[in-house]
Amino acid sequence: WGTRKADELGVEAFVESTLDGKPLYESCGFLTMNGFELKPTPPEDTEELKQLQRDLPFYGYFMWRPAGGVCEKGKTIIPWEKKSSGHDAVDS
């Protein structure tokens, strides 16, 4: 539903994904832009926190899908990576 709506509106889309969800988003035209790790800093180190750290993914990915979902090597512009001499295109 979300990618269809983005395409109807002609806009790009962004998601945050877990490792398990990454292949699904890639199959919908999303590209991995960067990874991130969440490091909770609770007031005290509890057994509950240790269990959560074992059970939950604290690593994820920022993913982007260009408007229309089509990424052309050397042509698709990544909006936040524009250089003063022009635009950066996606290499892969």
What are the domain boundaries of the chain? 2-81
Mean of pLDDT values over 8-32: 93
pLDDT bracket for residue 1 (50, 70, 90)? confident
CA distances from 74 to 12, 48, 91, 92 (A): 18, 48, 5, 8
Query: In the chain, what's the furthest Cα-to-Cα distance?
Result: 53
Global pTM reads: 0.68
Instruction: Tell me how far apart the alpha carbons of residues 80 and 78 are, in angstroms, rounded to a whole number.
Output: 6
Structure-block tokens of residue 17: 């994904």
Q: Write the pLDDT tens digit of every residue in 24-79.
A: 999 999 999 999 987 766 677 788 877 877 777 678 999 999 988 887 777 877 77
